[in-house]
């Protein structure tokens, strides 16, 4: 069968390839997948069961059930973020696709800080727009100078992701303000992916969206309360964009899953403070362990990832050695135009993290030993 040419613009996610490989190993130390290692809270399971039994199993309005949309609006109002409207999407991934389809024409350029979440580049290319990667190495910071250097007359959108996947970087007040002022002075739209907002470990969360006059915000509950399989997220932003992406959803996803919407309404009231504290301790364990072992690494401020430089500077080769030692991590070129780093997910038990650190220490020592 002849497939559309656009199919050749995307490849299977490198993360999924590692995930498939994990299935072939016996009890691997799996620090590869960006998935919370806890189950969805019981009160949310109860809410879902109640919704099912109450018959809330049919199509909803395309943009989402009104109580959930009102709750999303209140959420941003309480945090000082000016958003005119919102809609409920089938996961943040669905939200990303809807925004790109409604906002970008073929040939439009999108600024994406590198390293980046794999889906940004793939989806932008898939719809015929052009991803322009903004190099943020070695500190993973965004600056006006870096953005200016990558901007052309075709630049239409800037994507910000803080806390970030795969680096765990969190942007400062100064960085967010500088990015906002730059984009608004150029007439460039800004989309802030805030899916990891619950996991900020050092001080208060600085929202990129709070510094924008017309932010486009994508978020959801997949990471914060482990609702990854429920496919529930949202997009908040200017009214004309929300109306446009709602129209696109009508002819694509139709609506977000009905029971997931009812459950998400309850999820706003879940206190994730204890889980955040647990992840902060894991962050410290893995970051301190890598630094003690001699790795060049930036301590992440959020999310549940850390992005060390591979000994020898070849991320793929290093990951192959790790896999030979029953440790699963992801090569950095899955998330970047560079092949110098690798990603560790610390959404794993302390026991697994300590076991992974032992392998990483051993590999670092081997790399430092002359042959």
Parse the chain into domains and list their residue ranges.
5-40+272-368, 57-267
**Cβ atoms of residues 297 and 307 within 8 Å:** yes
DSSP string, 285-350: HHHHHHHHTT---PPPSBTTEE-PBPTTS-HHHHHHHHHHTTEE-EEGGGSSS--SBEEEE--S-H
- Cα gap 35→224, rounded to integer Å: 10
For residue 207, the model assigns a pLDDT of 96
Q: Which fold has domain 57-267?
A: 3.40.640
Three-class SS of residue 214?
A: coil
Residue 218 CA to residue 204 CA, distance in Å, equals 19
Question: What is the strand order of the sheet 109-114 is part of?
Answer: 85-89, 233-237, 216-220, 189-193, 155-161, 109-114, 130-135
Q: Which CATH class is domain 5-40+272-368?
A: alpha beta
* DSSP codes joined into one string, 224-289: TS--GGG--EEEEE-HHHHHHHHHHHHTTT-S--HHHHHHHHHHTT---HHHHHHHHHHHHHHHHH
**Which token pair is 306?**
């850390």
Give the residue among 268, 256, 164 at the shortest CA–CA distance from 224: 268
The dihedrals phi and psi of 184, each to the nearest 5 degrees, come to -70, -30
The pLDDT score that the predictor gives to residue 86 is 98
- pLDDT score recorded for residue 360: 98
Is 234:334 a contact under the CB 8 Å cutoff?
Answer: no
CA gap 55, 259 in Å, rounded: 9
Find, among 276, 344, 329, the residue nearest to 38 by Cα.
Answer: 276
Give pLDDT tens digits along the chain (371 positions). Answer: 888 888 777 776 566 666 666 667 788 999 998 889 999 999 999 999 999 999 999 999 999 999 999 999 999 999 999 999 999 999 999 999 999 999 999 999 999 999 999 999 999 999 999 999 999 999 999 999 999 999 999 999 999 999 999 999 999 999 999 999 999 999 999 999 999 999 999 999 999 999 999 999 999 999 989 889 899 999 999 999 999 999 999 999 999 999 999 999 999 999 999 999 999 999 999 999 999 999 999 999 999 999 999 999 999 999 999 999 999 999 999 999 999 999 999 999 999 999 999 999 999 998 777 65
pLDDT value for 19? 62
> CA–CA separation, 297 vs 318, rounded Å?
15
Q: What is the pLDDT of residue 276?
A: 95
* Cα distances (Å, whole numbers) of residue 352 to 14, 46, 107, 326, 346: 22, 30, 45, 12, 9
21 Ramachandran zone, left/alpha/beta (phi>0; psi -120 to 50): alpha
pTM of the model: 0.94
Rounded to 5°, angle at Cα 355 from 349 and 359: 140
Is-same-fold flag (5-40+272-368; 57-267)?
no
pLDDT of residue 369: 72
Q: Residue 16: its pLDDT value, please? A: 63
Are the C-beta atoms of 236 and 85 separated by less than 8 Å?
yes
Could you give phi then psi for residue 315, rounded to 5 degrees? Answer: -65, -45
pLDDT at 22: 65
């Amino acid at each position: 069968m002849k497939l559309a040419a656009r199919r050749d613009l995307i490849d299977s996610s490198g993360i999924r390839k590692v995930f498939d490989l994990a299935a072939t190993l016996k009890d691997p130390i799996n620090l590869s997948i960006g998935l919370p290692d806890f189950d969805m809270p019981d009160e949310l399971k109860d809410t879902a069961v109640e919704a099912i039994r109450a018959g809330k199993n049919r199509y909803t309005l395309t943009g989402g059930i009104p109580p959930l949309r009102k709750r999303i609006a209140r959420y941003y109002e309480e945090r000082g973020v000016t958003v005119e409207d919102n809609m409920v999407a089938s996961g943040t991934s669905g939200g990303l696709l809807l925004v790109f389809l409604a906002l970008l024409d073929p040939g439009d350029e999108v600024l994406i800080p590198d390293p980046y979440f794999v889906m940004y580049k793939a989806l932008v290319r898939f719809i015929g727009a052009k991803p322009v990667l903004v190099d943020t190495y070695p500190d993973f910071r965004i600056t006006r100078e870096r953005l200016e250097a990558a901007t052309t007359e075709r630049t239409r959108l800037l994507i910000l992701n803080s806390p970030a996947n795969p680096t765990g970087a969190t942007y400062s007040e100064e960085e967010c303000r500088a990015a906002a002022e730059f984009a608004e002075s150029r007439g460039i739209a800004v989309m802030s992916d805030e899916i990891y907002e619950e996991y900020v470990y050092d001080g208060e969360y600085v929202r990129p969206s709070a510094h924008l006059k017309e932010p486009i915000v994508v978020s959801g509950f997949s990471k914060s309360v482990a609702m990854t399989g429920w496919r529930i997220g949202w997009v908040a932003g200017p009214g004309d964009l929300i109306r446009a992406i709602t129209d696109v959803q009508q002819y694509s996803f139709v609506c977000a899953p009905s029971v997931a919407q009812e459950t998400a309404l309850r999820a706003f009231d879940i206190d994730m403070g204890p889980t955040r504290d647990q992840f902060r301790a894991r962050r410290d364990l893995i970051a301190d362990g890598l630094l003690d072992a001699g790795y060049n690494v930036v301590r992440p401020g959020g999310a549940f990832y850390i992005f060390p430089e591979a000994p020898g500077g070849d991320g793929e080769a290093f990951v192959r050695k790790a896999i030979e030692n029953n440790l699963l991590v992801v090569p950095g070129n899955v998330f970047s135009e560079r092949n110098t780093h690798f990603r560790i997910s610390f959404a794993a038990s302390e026991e697994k993290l300590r076991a992974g650190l032992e392998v990483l220490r051993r590999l670092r020592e081997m790399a430092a030993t002359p042959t």
